[in-house]
Amino acid sequence: MKNSKLFSHELATKAEKLGCLPEEWLTEIYHQKWFKLFVPKDLGGLGCSLPEALEIEENLARLDGSLGWTVTLCAGAAWFVGFMDDSVRTAIFPPKELCLAGSGFVGGKANLVKDKYIISGSWTYASGALHATHLTANCEILENGEAVLDDEAKPVVKAFVLDRKDVEILDGWNYMGMVATGSHAFRCENLKISRNRSFEILPEKAKLDAPVYQYPFLQFAEATLAANILGISQHLINLIEESFWKRHEYRKYDKKHLRHFEKLLDKQKEKLTRFRDEFYQQVKASWEELEKHGKISSSRLKKVSKVSRRLTQKCREINGKLYPFSGLEAAKTHTELNRVWRDFNTVGQHALLIFPF
């Protein structure tokens, strides 16, 4: 990753104190167009395929968990460009310093009255909210105060893109890790917006033709989150190894203990490499299938889900086996090792990837 020196421990510490990404990182993100990984090039984006974007997200997460996660979630929100109305897309996306944050939580209601939606609600865990220019929010749909139901009598849900000036950011991210993601809540009350600000995240509802907008959202989300967990794990393992050898300098472990650690470390690194390769093989196979046939088979999608969850589970196991060798350095709250450990054990709680199946 170019400019990796910019993403130093000192700036990561600064980011954690700020509770959001520092200006130095944001400047680089805008320059590299990382918030626009999936935005078409004619709108100032990179127009990445999913496999290309995953490698960028993995590399950023390896540099810093909050950095990788914020880019991933904000780029994921900007992926919705492919589902938005033409007029909204061309009005919102061209600026260089664009950042969308969003919440997957259905936290509001949108009442259609004449040609306007009136939106009220609150939404949680909007990573990047503190520097977002726009936010996306899921709402149950009403028409003139009456709930709109689908063919199965379930509430119809649509997503909306809101301007930052129209919402209130709520201080709701009080967790031990991923502190610099600024994953706060937000809310609005009786906000009137035009009906073209709504969209639905379904392949058949895509307004742009690029294959990435035909990739189903569930597997898209699982894969991007797994790439972050992978990157954070790589960072953590490197720091554990460094900490062990520093302790050896003054503790002088005997040869038997050194051989045990070296054997265990090599084995866990080999495992991680193998699971990483399996992950990318399945994602790339799904992408090739999409490009060739215009859709991905259900069997392949199941494999992508399974490999994303499997990778996450294996990262937990590998990190758990190696963590004790980091010593008390990992318990010092100001150290890089402690921060990365906290980040891993926070992001690893994401509901999408808790279960291995």
pLDDT, residue 198, reads 97
Q: Where does a domain end: 202, 232, 265?
A: 202
CATH number at residue 196: 2.40.110.10
Q: Are residues 180 and 220 in the same domain?
A: no
- Say how far apart CA 343 and CA 31 lie, in whole Å: 26
Q: Structure tokens of 285?
A: 């196979």
Q: Are residues 167 and 259 in the same domain?
A: no
Mean pLDDT, consecutive 10-residue stretches, the chain (357 aa), reads 77 96 97 98 97 98 98 98 97 97 95 97 96 98 96 96 98 93 97 97 96 97 98 98 93 94 98 98 98 97 97 97 93 94 94 83
**Position 148 in a domain:** yes
Q: Are residues 244 and 348 in the same domain?
A: yes
pLDDT, residue 299, reads 98
The single-letter DSSP state of residue 98 is -
Q: Where does a domain end: 179, 202, 225?
A: 202
Q: Are residues 302 and 241 in the same domain?
A: yes
Q: Are residues 116 and 15 in the same domain?
A: no
Q: Structure tokens of 102?
A: 């969003």
**Position 228 in a domain:** yes
The single-letter DSSP state of residue 148 is P
- Say how far apart CA 281 and CA 248 lie, in whole Å: 38
**DSSP bridge pairs for 113:** 116
pLDDT, residue 353, reads 85
Q: pTM higher than 0.75 for the full model?
A: yes
Q: Structure tokens of 124?
A: 């949680």
Q: Are residues 347 and 226 in the same domain?
A: yes
pLDDT digits over 211-235, tens only?
Answer: 999 999 999 999 999 999 999 999 9
**Position 209 in a domain:** no
Q: Are residues 64 and 111 in the same domain?
A: no
Q: Are residues 196 and 319 in the same domain?
A: no
- Say how far apart CA 192 and CA 214 lie, in whole Å: 30
Q: Are residues 196 and 231 in the same domain?
A: no
Q: Are residues 230 and 315 in the same domain?
A: yes
65-78 and 217-251 are packed helices; what angle lies between their axes, rounded to 10 degrees?
A: 170
**Position 293 in a domain:** yes
What phi and psi values does residue 201 have, to the nearest 5 degrees?
-95, 75
Which domain covers residue 75, as residue numbers?
Answer: 4-83
Q: Are residues 146 and 264 in the same domain?
A: no
pLDDT, residue 351, reads 87
Give the 3-state secondary structure of residue 297. coil
Q: Are residues 347 and 227 in the same domain?
A: yes
Our count of domains for the chain comes to 3
pLDDT digits over 301-321, tens only?
Answer: 999 999 999 999 999 999 999
pLDDT, residue 17, reads 96
**Position 92 in a domain:** no
pLDDT, residue 199, reads 97
pLDDT, residue 3, reads 62
**Position 76 in a domain:** yes
